[in-house]
Amino acid sequence: MDVLVRKTGLAEGEIRMLIGILATNLKVVPAEEVRQRWDEAEAIVGSIDREDIPFVAAALASSCDAIWSDDKGLKRQKSVLILNTHEVLARLGGSAEG
């Protein structure tokens, strides 16, 4: 928890709320569906950061609303909406202040 508080700048209660929301809204994307979107994801984000390809492929395969990530490089692509922690909190009506 200390690491999350330090890295996000959020209060422990806000982090616990976000973890609870995340835990109740998880969707497992089958590996085969991710593989089917791999080339498309690679074209989108491969030149930015190859380590993000699996996340973009999963997002494309699941038709998700957004990826929750504080990775600034990932936000540079425009095919998949990327929300940082503060943006997720704002959309949930929470406070981003610690």
- Average pLDDT (61-65) is 89
Q: Are strands 82-83 and 67-68 parallel, antiparallel or unpaired?
A: parallel
- pLDDT confidence band for 94 (50 / 70 / 90): low
Task: Give the largest CA-CA distance in the chain.
Answer: 41
pLDDT surpasses 70 at 19: yes
Q: Is the dihedral of CA 33, 35, 38, 39 positive or negative?
A: negative
pLDDT surpasses 70 at 95: no
Tokens linked to 87: 């943006």
Tokens linked to 54: 């699996």
First vs last Cα of the chain: how many Å apart? 14
- Average pLDDT (77-83) is 95
pLDDT tens-digit readout, 44-61: 999 999 999 999 999 999
Rounded to whole angstroms, the Cα distance separating 79 from 74 reads: 10
- pLDDT confidence band for 41 (50 / 70 / 90): very high
pLDDT tens-digit readout, 5-16: 988 888 999 889
Rounded to whole angstroms, the Cα distance separating 97 from 73 reads: 24
